[in-house]
A = this chain, B = another copy of it.
Amino acid sequence: MAVYTHVSDEALDQLLEEYSIGELLSCKGIAEGVENSNFLLHTSEGFFILTLYEKRVNEDDLPFFIGLMQHLADKGYVSPRPIENKTGHALTEVAGRPAAIIEFLDGRSVARPTPDHCALLGESLAHMHQTASDFHIMRPNGLGMGAWRPLFEAALRDDARGMIRESEKQEIESALNLLEGNWPSNLPQGVIHADLFPDNIFFLKNRVSGVIDYYFACNDYLAYDIAVCLNAWCFENDGSFNITKARKLLSAYGKVRLIEKSELDALPLLCQGAAVRFYLTRLYDWINQVEGALVKPKSPEEYLKKIRFHRDVKTVQDYGL
């Protein structure tokens, strides 16, 4: 839940002057997103989301994020559309922060996705990959494979209280060695969402009505995005892997964009890599948690179990294909 920055009445009035979205009737902070401050605006023309980008988002990346959302929305994908102001810009400044007003999308995210939700996700992810294929800005993946070892070393360095067990260190060390030694070098690339967890997809009447939160989007292997989703959508709360959900996700994706043999072969390694990525960022936030912070960091433990699962996977058949 996130409203980090207070926006004064004057700043709001000034903001609305910049846009042609009618008169402001109401503005409420909403408990959505972890990185940014979000407000629901009601104007005489409808409802909108005002996002203020806080310090965890690099300002230089905003043209990529906003441009990607515009590109996707222009081509009919279910991304919320950033609204352009009177001078044709979708990026502005409010209360000293970069900010954007974005279309309000209906729909609800699901806390416990069913196999059918996983199929809808797979289909929508493939559509996103296709729709973004001609997006012209590039953004390297700042949390891609090359970033994992430095992140692990930073976590070890900051672990003053000894929260990382010795056996865990060795496990991650050998996972990193394996990943670095075997990471594929020639898979289909493109724009990936890179953070497509269940809370970033809205469903309405058995279809996907919105895909939000593009603030980790970047260029990387498309199959790596599938691997992120297999991790985020196909494990049960007790840690078990739901092969039915994985099969639904993969086959629905494959009906829209054919998954190549090289991608299928690499999938177990990509899944292990994606699990390492979320394990490491959670570990880092866990170790560096601030007393009394608004957002309690998630335990990395869940992703340690996922690393182990994928380590034991031999072929893509273990994912239901």
Contact = CB atoms under 8 A, between A and B. Distances in A.
Contacts of A112: 9
A32 B28 CA distance: 7
A10 to B, nearest CB: 9
B291 A27 contact: no
Contact of A24 (B26, B27, B42, B108): B108
B25 A28 contact: no
A288 to B, nearest CB: 16
A26 B107 contact: yes
A168 interface: no
A298 to B, nearest CB: 15
B108 A27 contact: yes
A259 B258 CA distance: 78
A1 interface: yes
Contact of A294 (B28, B107, B294): B294
Given A291-B292, A292-B292, A108 B26 contact: yes
A39 to B, nearest CB: 9
A107 B32 CA distance: 22
A141 B309 CA distance: 60
22 contacts: A1-B3, A1-B31, A3-B31, A8-B111, A9-B108, A9-B110, A9-B111, A9-B112, A24-B108, A25-B106, A25-B107, A26-B104, A26-B105, A27-B108, A29-B30, A30-B30, A30-B40, A40-B40, A42-B47, A42-B106, A291-B292, A294-B294
